[in-house]
Chains A and B, each alone.
Chain A
Amino acid sequence: MDFLQPVTWAEALEAKAAHPDAVPIAGGTDVMVGLNFGHLRPALLLDLTRIADLRDWQVADSAVRLGAGVSYARVISELGDRLPGLAMASRTIGSPQIRNRGTVAGNLATASPAGDAHPALLAAGAEVEVASVRGTRRIPIDDFYTGVKRNAMDGDELITAVSVVPPSGPQQYSKIGTRNAMVISVAAFGLALHPDRRAVGTGIGSAAPTPRRAPAAEEFLAGELDSSGLWESRAELPEATIARFGELVAAAAAPIDDVRGSARYRVHALSVMARRALTWAWADHRSATQEA
């Protein structure tokens, strides 16, 4: 196995163009597991950790542009206010060691249906910035996940950054695991309320071949909030609305039975998480006025 360690982004893109089979390595928390289990036997490892640019985040065009090398630990400590949904998701990931090494970009490239960043990114409406020697393109998160552990990148492309617009309303993230830490999700749910756009964002994890949104639930809730003037009045949400939202989120899932949980349980858990997340988010939205 060969090992390349570029120090500039241009070198990295050239290397990837020259060796499309090269496996990039960032935190290594997926790659090293693959190597140890013998599932991954790459001819070439492309280490991205020496590229200083990747380790930064900035605010650009009113969005946070999160460099591919930023760890979960930094998302939690530096971006908890700007990217609350992603920070909440990051808190559920692995252990302190994993959060110190692992990156959102690594989670995206792996594109596991169980990856915890995905529901938060889907709910927030993120964009993935990918680059190659041919140029840069921005892939809307909705178009990024193309199949089980597959994504929309080409062989010569690398992830440069993820862009997320800081929210105009509350966000929540919930994840079910069968122990209280260090666990792969059995089902996960991300929620973002966007009062500025009068829209609702959702993301579902571990309950379909890919991470996905629950569009019917989003439209239903946004419609209810609109038609009842709730965005402005910030009155209490009717129980029936909360319940229906939960049902629609669950209905968007297409889970399977596996060692981590049954399909029926996943559907049930999603409806419960969706109801609770909405209740918490709405309480935040209401208290935000009182402060304003």
Chain B
Amino acid sequence: MSTPTRTPTGAPEHLTGPGSGGVGDDAQRPDGVLKVRGEFAYGSDLWMADMLWGVTLRSPHPYARIRSVDTSAALATPGVSAVLTSDDVPGEKVYGLELADQPVLALDVVRYQGEPVALVAADHPETARLAAGRIHVDYDVLEPVTDARTALGHPTWNQVHDSTAEVTELSRESAHLHPEGNLVRHLKVRTGDPAPTADVVVVGEYEVGMQDQAFLGPEAGLAVPAEDGGVELHVATQWLHVDQKQICAALALPPEQVRLTLAGVGGAFGGREDLSMHVHACLLALRTGRPVKMSYNREESFFGHVHRHPATMRYEHGATRDGELVYVKAAIYFDGGAYASSTPAVVGNGGTMGIGPYVVPNVHVDCYGAYTNNPPCGAMRGFGSVQTAFAYESQMDALAAELGMDPVELRCRNAMEEGSATPTGQVIDSPAPVAELLRRLEAMPLPAASGDGEVDLRDMPGGVSNTTHGEGVRRGVGYAVAYKNVAFSEGYDDHSTARVRLEVVGGEPTATVHTAAAEVGQGLVTVEQQIARTELGVERVVVHPKDTSVGSAGSTSASRQTYVTGGAVKAACEKVRAQVVARAERLVGRTVPDLRLAGGAVVSDSEDITVPLADLLGDDVLEETLEWRHRPTEAIDPETGQGFAHVQYAFSAHRAVVDVDTELGLVKVVEMACTQDVGKAINPQAVVGQIQGGTAQGLGLAVMEEILIKDGKVRNPSFTDYLIPTILDMPPMRIEVLEYADPHAPYGLRGVGEAPNISSGPAVLAAIRAATGLPLTRVPVRPEHITGT
């Protein structure tokens, strides 16, 4: 194992660097003060004189044929400028991230509740809503298919391990939700003995409910028609260029005529990777010749973006008596909902990493993504790995119990390390400190027992709702560890583009970093500044607005931007620096081997040379633009899943301590502890923020967050009933950040954002199991699951 670049420390504040605002510092966010003061402009704050408001009419049915749409009454409403249906889409009428299967506006069939059917633009949002209500849609309502296994014709588990049984789909005509059938992707992982046996076998079935990204800033944007016949779209999104590509196809316009600028993004977590109002606003703007704003309210937002795939999973683990894993078999079903979105890639992750960060010689995984008439599911932080982690970590606990072994010990005995092979045959060629993460957690002190001294209701399950003063309360401790690929996988050409400019502005050397990488609240703009400061030795770094006038940065997802766009910014800075050094050498008239940029000057340590950039550059502007790629990955074998699928893995582990009121089924998470290897903390404070946020989101899924669906209809599209953790639900954390450099990555860094979201929930679930002694195979755990009522 390579040596850590920095001794892992106990307290995050020890990670803090010297304070120059460069790599390794807790540099201040450029948008921080504005956000704290409530002055930051989000997408929903966009405004232009003369603009119209666009609203969307959505299907009330999860599955129906559209007989006719009558827009005449809506069009006749005073104040209305346009009413559009799919007939008004000039280009491709379907779009999608991986497969174009989702209508811009409903064609002849609606496949989920909330599917957009028609658009209205009017001079006031109320008028637009009123008019939308006057559009008459004649639906022939169909019976929805609302279960992934039913959709695939796999009503029982028995056949899933029979490798000869091919997917036999429902023959019923109406159950074919898409022309090609209901299967989006079936991924197979096959390694080792196809019929292994073991001393000890545990089998479990698990279920994960549908989680929402619950970003606070709803979908919003403003489309402005341009004089060249094109359109300018300001939108809160995650990936400007993939939006642009899909918008161009729908509008039948070339990329030069569809220009996007990132609006203020109030959180994303994957939910903005698909289009929402993008094409709709552009269509209305081009039709009316006026700027059109669209901004969803909270309820519409629940229908306006994809969610995390619910999953049903069956796992079988076999081990030797002394706790060595012999085999894992798994069948994993992801409910993709009505349209594909990123289901194929989610299946890719769920399948290839579906047994967790363990070394297992014999693996047999089938991972399916299905179409149903439930809301479409796609990207969400953790992306296919969150669901499987609940299953494989529950299995490790069940196996430990069966073996009479300590659960941490069992995990460490089977933990991956550098040099281990994954089930897909990939040898891990950078640090993989799985056992160390767990051992460090174990060594942390445990919080004091509850009920010592005076009762403080805030420490009790139920909080100030005063449901217990200690009665029925039992404590439990649980551990979980997880891993997740960083960046895009399976042979995808994953790259980013950076343009870096160096010039003297008002006497001060100033770098400008221009990328299209979406800042969604995670702090990438800070990272871009930090890298430019370190590489160019200047203090002042301007982050150019994010837009499509520079090449694609790829998506702000998959924990990839600090790695990939960070890598691109670093490389562009290096090219600019080479130009500066060459100039300095021309000035001094010879080659000086150790020239570097620091403090706004070109300096040498070996010689007494200091050339201020202000003098060296004068009025000249140095600029470099480049595309940067990480090591290529490969497509995996369709029959065996073997291949170099993932460029990098992130590892994290959690220990959860919970108090459960076992009589009322209420849970208080007392403490969360997390250890994570981040390779190199570019901004330690931001790293800790990602760990806290990811932990909270994982905790939320474990105990409360679920979109409840009945017969294809969402029952809780509001923050009244879709609950996310409050400050009284999210406990204080102990965090240890490890920095084992990945030699293949810029600065040795590892993507940070997703891993803690994956290991957190399973640790909470394990702790609740430990407190209650119940098997608990479904998340979120509801009070009823604990009380049995």
Contacts and interface: CB of A to CB of B under 8 A. Distances in A.
B280 interface: no
B789 A180 contact: no
Interface stretch (B30-38, B95-103, B260-268, B459-467): B459-467
**Interface size, A (range):** 35 or more
A182 B466 contact: no
Given A181-B463, A261-B784, 17 more contacts: A38-B129, A172-B466, A173-B466, A174-B465, A175-B467, A176-B465, A176-B467, A176-B664, A179-B725, A180-B463, A180-B465, A180-B668, A180-B726, A181-B727, A184-B720, A269-B664, A276-B469
Interface of A: 36-38, 88, 91-92, 95, 172-186, 259-262, 264-265, 267-269, 272-273, 276, 279-280
Interface in B458-494: 461-469, 471-472
A179 B789 contact: no
Contacts of A260: 721
Interface string B661-695: 00111101000000000000000000000000000
B467 A181 contact: no
A179 B471 CA distance: 18
Q: Is the interface of B mostly helix, strand, loop or mixed?
A: loop
B107 interface: no
Given A259-B721, A265-B665, A265-B784, A175 B789 contact: no
Given A178-B704, A182-B726, A262 B465 contact: no
A58 B28 CA distance: 52
Nearest to A182: B726
Contacts of A279: 471
Nearest to A92: B465
B188 to A, nearest CB: 38
A274 B787 CA distance: 16
B729 A180 contact: yes
A268 B784 CA distance: 10
Contact of A176 (B464, B471, B723, B783): B783
Contacts of B665: 265
A183 B462 CA distance: 10
Contacts of B466: 88, 91-92, 172-175
B464 A259 contact: no
Nearest to A88: B466
A182 B726 CA distance: 8
A267 B664 CA distance: 11
Given A37-B299, A260-B721, A177 B465 contact: yes
Nearest to B460: A180
A88 B708 CA distance: 31
A266 B622 CA distance: 69
B633 interface: no
Nearest to A283: B469
Contacts of B668: 180
A262 B726 contact: no
A23 B100 CA distance: 49
B721 A181 contact: no
A88 B465 CA distance: 8
B784 A179 contact: no
B729 A179 contact: yes
A183 B723 contact: yes
B728 interface: yes
A71 B554 CA distance: 51
Interface residues of B, number: 38
A264 B468 contact: no
B723 A262 contact: no
B465 to A, nearest CB: 4
B9 interface: no
A268 B786 CA distance: 12
B715 interface: yes
Nearest to B708: A259
B787 A178 contact: no
A273 B472 CA distance: 12
B629 to A, nearest CB: 44
Contacts of B729: 179-181
B782 interface: yes
B20 interface: no
B77 interface: no
Most buried by B among A88, A172, A265, A280: A265
A265 B462 contact: no
A178 B297 CA distance: 24
A273 B728 contact: no
A162 B703 CA distance: 38
Contacts of A184: 720-721
Contact of A272 (B299, B469, B663): B663
B420 interface: no
Nearest to A260: B721
B544 to A, nearest CB: 37
B637 to A, nearest CB: 44
B716 interface: yes
Given A262-B789, A264-B789, A174 B721 contact: no
18 contacts: A36-B297, A91-B466, A92-B465, A174-B467, A177-B465, A178-B703, A179-B704, A179-B726, A181-B463, A259-B708, A259-B715, A262-B789, A264-B789, A265-B787, A267-B789, A269-B787, A273-B664, A276-B471
A267 B727 CA distance: 29
A37 B472 CA distance: 40
Contact of A276 (B467, B726, B782): B467
Contact of B728 (A180, A185, A259, A265): A180
Given A38-B129, A276-B471, A92 B464 contact: yes
B728 A272 contact: no
